Amino acid sequence: MKHQIRLNVNGDDYELLVDPWRTLNEVLREDLNLTGTKLGCGVGDCGACTVLVDGKSVSSCITLAVAVDGKKIETVEGLAASGEKLHPIQESFIEKGAIQCGFCTAGMEMSALYLLRKNPSPTEEEIREGLSGHLCRCTGYNQIVEAIADAADRMKTDRGKGVKP
Amino acid sequence: MRLPKFDYVAPKTLDEALKALTAGGEGCRLLAGGTDLMVKMGHGLTAASLLVAIKGIEGLHGIRFDPSKGLSIGAATLIAEVAEHPDVLKYYPAVAQAARKTANTQIRNMATLAGNLCNAAPSADNAPVLLARGAEVEVVSQKGTRQLSLDDFFNGPGQTELARDEILTQILVPPAAKASGASYQWISPRGKVDISAVCVGVNLRLDGDVLKDVRIALGAVAPTPMRATEAEALMEGAKWSEALAEQVSAKASEESRPITDVRASAEYRRRMVSVLTRRALEEAHARAVENWGV
């Protein structure tokens, strides 16, 4: 039996009819066409599918869509909400060369967002720990860590200009 | 990975969940964080025709601490909440340590402490320290409530004492005794996110200069998390010395029954039981000395 669920994704409300065995990742990508969130390992190891549910980072590939009924979902598409001005995290990723093939990027950026909201001034060790649930097979980890440190600075200085973390 | 088909209910109360679980019969499984169950179902290792989700049950959420009764952790409480809770950090640092070491950030934000125990992996990160701290679990069915020691909970890999119609509702950890200390130590191939190759939990108490209530629990070196009771007995009632810690650690290593798998060889595991037990005893002893005046 299909279940009727409500999701708020990046500020937009959706009412959906979903089969209980479909994951949040499938519903985001296939029903809502939000393909920025990737599917990597499918077992919660690689972090490519990371989204925020009520502000907490989770692996969307092993989260059932029915289990997040009524919740607020944030995906990488919500980072640059206007579609024009990039989020400071995205600016930093570009500037520091933290993107190679790009497959891990959406997940990395969502974990960066989660980390920086909890801890606006992380140490390098804390950034690395915050990224420990992510794999980058291009192995550009150093640039990603640098980008997040840079984003932390940027968000502190941008905050006065009304950029939300 | 596509999941096989199943039905899903998300009861709002424990009574409704128990009813659904009993009515659901053989093919019914409880769903908490799903971080183990979804993967097992995706790989076809576990079949279920109905999932009963318990995260929507308000009464199963939360961490409560009472200095005389101890700690209570509801079955729907996330591992991340255990790792960050101020009372757990202050009064149960080794419990917080194990929670913080479990998997990665995203998994800790989904998975529950109760789920980590009910999944009954021999390597369950939170089991050794809870065993060492003398934790109990409360189990409820439509027939009533029972409380059992975590020592009697694990039956084998993936096997627990829980009957098919029972729900583990809370984990209870007694308050720390005066001048006691606990520690959690682990080693894993990749350091951060992967499953422990060996993990050790220790708890002990100082009575004057004599060691009491020594509990040593080992993970990932037997079909279930286990107590090293002979090693404990060597230390019980003795005076602390580094030589004794060394001897007790060697005994714990002898008691372990590890296998060789992808994470480590049996030989390496046996050696690491001894190293980690010694480190855990040293940290627990140092904490006990520190707590002497508290």
Last residue of a domain, one of A23, A51, A78: A78
Structure confidence by residue, pLDDT tens digits, B101-117: 999 999 999 999 999 99
In a shared domain, residues A37 and A92: no
Q: What is the CATH number of the domain that holds A153?
A: 1.10.150.120
Length of chain A: 165
For residues B278 and B169, the answer to whether their CB atoms sit within 8 Å is: no
Same-domain check for residues A151 and A111:
yes
3-state secondary structure of A54: coil
pLDDT at B290 over 60: yes
pLDDT at B171 over 50: yes
Given a cut of 60, whether residue A161 has pLDDT beyond it is: no
Percent of chain B scoring above 90 in pLDDT: 93
The answer on A7 and A73 residing in a single domain is yes
Which residue is closest to A128 within chain B, CA to CA? B192
Residue B275 pLDDT more than 80?
yes
Instruction: Tell me how far apart the alpha carbons of residues B225 and B258 are, in angstroms, rounded to a whole number.
Output: 11
Whether A138 maps to a domain, the answer reads: yes
Mean pLDDT of B22-39: 96
pLDDT value of residue A160? 46
Q: Which residue of B has its CA nearest to A63?
A: B34
CB B65 within 8 A of CB B87: yes
**CA of B8 vs chain A CAs: smallest distance (Å):** 6
> If interface means Cβ-Cβ distance under 8 Å, which residues of chain B face chain A?
1-8, 10, 31, 34-35, 38-39, 42-43, 51, 53, 55, 80, 103-107, 109-110, 192-193
Are A74 and A126 members of one domain?
no
Q: How many helices (H) and strands (E) does chain A have?
A: 5, 5
Q: How many CB pairs under 8 A join A and B?
A: 86
pLDDT at B188: 86
**Chain B: residue whose CA lies nearest to A43:** B39
Mean pLDDT of B19-47: 96
Give the count of beta carbons closer than 10 Å to the beta carbon of residue B189: 11
Name the residue of chain A whose CA is nearest to B104's CA: A133
Lowest mean pLDDT among A86-90, A135-139, B245-249: A135-139
ipTM of the complex: 0.94
Whether the pLDDT of residue B87 is over 60: the answer is yes
Residues A147 and A100 both lie in one domain:
yes
pLDDT at A81: 83
Instruction: Give the CA radius of gyration of chain B.
Output: 19
pLDDT at A157: 82
List, in sequence order, every beta strand (DSSP E) within B117-275: 136-141, 144-149, 154-156, 159-160, 167-173, 180-187, 198-207, 210-219, 226-227
A52 and A14 share one domain: yes
Task: Decide if A65 is inside a domain.
Answer: yes
CA distance A151 to chain B (A): 20
Distance, CA of B145 to CA of B104 (rounded, Å): 33
- What range does the domain containing A114 cover? 88-160
Please compute the mean of the pLDDT values over residues A108-114 and round it to a whole number: 98
Beta bridge partner(s), residue B30: B52
CA distance B146 to chain A (A): 29
Is A165 part of a structural domain of the chain? Answer: no
Answer yes or no: is A39 within a domain: yes
Decide if pLDDT at B248 tops 70. yes
Whether residue A128 is found in the same domain as residue A104: yes
* Residue A163 confidence (pLDDT): 56
Contact status, residue B41 vs residue A58, Cβ threshold 8 Å: no
Give me the CATH number covering residue A65.
3.10.20.30
Out of A83-92, B56-65, B183-192, B258-267, the most confident range is: B56-65
Residue A133 lies in a domain: yes
A42 and A73 co-located in one domain: yes
In a domain, A83, yes or no: no
Pair A62, A101 in one domain: no
The whole-number pLDDT of residue B271 equals 96
Q: Report yes or no on A134 lying in a domain.
A: yes
Span B31-39, average pLDDT: 97
Q: What is the pLDDT of residues A10-38, one digit of tens each?
A: 999 999 999 999 999 999 999 999 999 99
DSSP-assigned letters across all residues of A93-150? HHHTT--SS-TTHHHHHHHHHHHHHH-SS--HHHHHHHTTT---TT--HHHHHHHHHH
Mutation target to probe the B interface, by most B beta carbons within 10 A, among A132, A136, A148 is: A132
Q: Provide mean pLDDT across the span B121-126.
A: 94
- Whether A155 and A117 map to the same domain: the answer is yes
pLDDT of residue B196: 86
What confidence tens digit (pLDDT) does each residue in B188-227 have?
Answer: 887 766 788 899 999 999 999 999 999 999 999 999 999 9
Are the CB atoms for B268 and B173 separated by under 8 Å?
no
Joined together, the tokens standing for residue A56 give 């907490």
Nearest alpha-carbon partner for B174 in B66, B98, B79: B66
Mean pLDDT along residues B139-145: 97
How many independent structural domains does chain A possess? 2
Last residue of a domain, one of A78, A106, A123: A78
Among A43, A78, A113, identify where a domain stops: A78
Contact B216, B248 (CB under 8 A): yes
Residues in chain B with CB shorter than 8 Å from the CB of A58 are 106, 109-110
Per-residue DSSP letter, A65: G
Test A63 with B39 for CB contact under 8 angstroms: no
Q: What are phi and psi of A17, to 5 degrees?
A: -105, 115
A99 and A73 together in one domain: no
What is the pLDDT at residue B294? Answer: 54
Same domain flag for A65 and A118: no
Average pLDDT over residues B152-158: 97
Structural domain includes residue A131: yes
Domains within chain B, CATH numbers bracketed? 7-53 (3.30.43), 61-173 (3.30.465.10), 180-293 (3.30.390.50)
Residues comprising chain B, all counted: 294
Check pLDDT > 90 for residue B155.
yes
Compute the distance between CA of residue A47 and CA of residue B107 in angstroms, rounded to an integer: 10
Percent of chain B whose predicted confidence (pLDDT) is above 70: 98
